[in-house]
Amino acid sequence: MNSRAQHKASHVTTRRLLDMKQGGEKISVLTAYDYTMARILDRAGVDVILVGDSASNVFSGHSTTLPITIDEMIYHAKAVVRGVKDETNRAMVVIDMPFMSYQLSGEEALRNAGKIMKEHECDAVKLEGGSIIAETVKRITDVGIPVMGHLGLMPQSIYKYGSYKVRAQEGMEAAQLLEDARVLEEAGAFAIVLEKIPSALAAEVTSSLTIPTIGIGAGAECDGQVLVINDILGLNREFHPRFVRRYTDLNTVIENVVRQYVHDVREKEFPTADESY
């Protein structure tokens, strides 16, 4: 096998994720929105990089995920795919389809999913919703575009819920979520994100499906876990929900570095002769 073929063989695929579930191997997923971060995540061995529409919040500063456009998502996606390709090219790259890019009709959803796939050769798209988008999921997967589902707290529906609290705590909503997961699997989804639901329900969904579940605030029984990169790096000071593990405090680290730089420039300590030509 030549080196190019070997390179390709290690790339994480939907098949590989299925094998991981079957083998009891946990799947690691993180978001990324730019080239540099994508390179670091891929080098560090993350299985899946999600170009989340959380870019609307953490990159652009909007209060919800609704404003981000398909062209903005494609801009982020291109940078991330380039980063992965320039590194080990192992991580699978999944792109969120933004609000109103797939809800109007199956035809428009297919056109937009195709546009996302064609413009930068990512691996898959992610859509929020259950039974109501099952036809759309089937239509997209039927033409060969892998779809990741997203149930539980769906940030694109925040105005319907009115809050970011834990979803599916009551019997009816929990039963609907179980049914939605089953329907998404039947429609061809290769994995489902479960956001902010009780651990026991996430465990029940996970054991009832063949495809992997990826949890965020959904307990330890999911087949994998996803978090927003800015959150685990501690870049955001204000946001610290219980499901986020903050591994470092980059906000303070960066602030201190910038303060030192400002000081060095003001005090004429930068640049030195060694740092000049």
Binding site for ligand KIV (CB under 6 A): 31, 50, 52-54, 96, 193, 195, 216, 226, 228
- Please identify, using beta-carbon distances, which residue of 183 and 226 lies nearer to ligand KIV: 226
Determine the Cα–Cα distance for residues 167 and 194; give it in Å rounded to an integer.
Answer: 10
Using CB atoms within 10 Å of the CB of residue 76, give its burial: 0 to 12 exposed, 13 to 18 middle, 19+ buried.
Answer: buried
Question: 268: how many CB neighbours lie within 10 A of its CB?
Answer: 8
Q: Name the catalytic one among 195, 255, 267, 275.
A: 195
Q: How far is the CB of 153 from ligand KIV (least distance, A)?
A: 9
- Please identify, using beta-carbon distances, which residue of 7 and 64 lies nearer to ligand KIV: 64
- Please identify, using beta-carbon distances, which residue of 7 and 69 lies nearer to ligand KIV: 69
Determine the Cα–Cα distance for residues 160 and 238; give it in Å rounded to an integer.
Answer: 24
Closest C-alpha to 213, from 183, 197, 190 = 190
Closest C-alpha to 236, from 60, 58, 64 = 58
Using CB atoms within 10 Å of the CB of residue 1, give its burial: 0 to 12 exposed, 13 to 18 middle, 19+ buried.
Answer: exposed
- By beta-carbon distance, which residue lies closest to ligand KIV? 52
Q: How many CA atoms lie less than 13 Å away from 208 in the CB half-sphere?
A: 18
Q: How far is the CB of 246 from ligand KIV (least distance, A)?
A: 15
Q: How far is the CB of 32 from ligand KIV (least distance, A)?
A: 10
- Please identify, using beta-carbon distances, which residue of 23 and 61 lies nearer to ligand KIV: 61
Q: How far is the CB of 81 from ligand KIV (least distance, A)?
A: 17
Respond yes or no: is residue 119 known to be catalytic. no
Query: What positions carry a catalytic annotation?
Result: 195
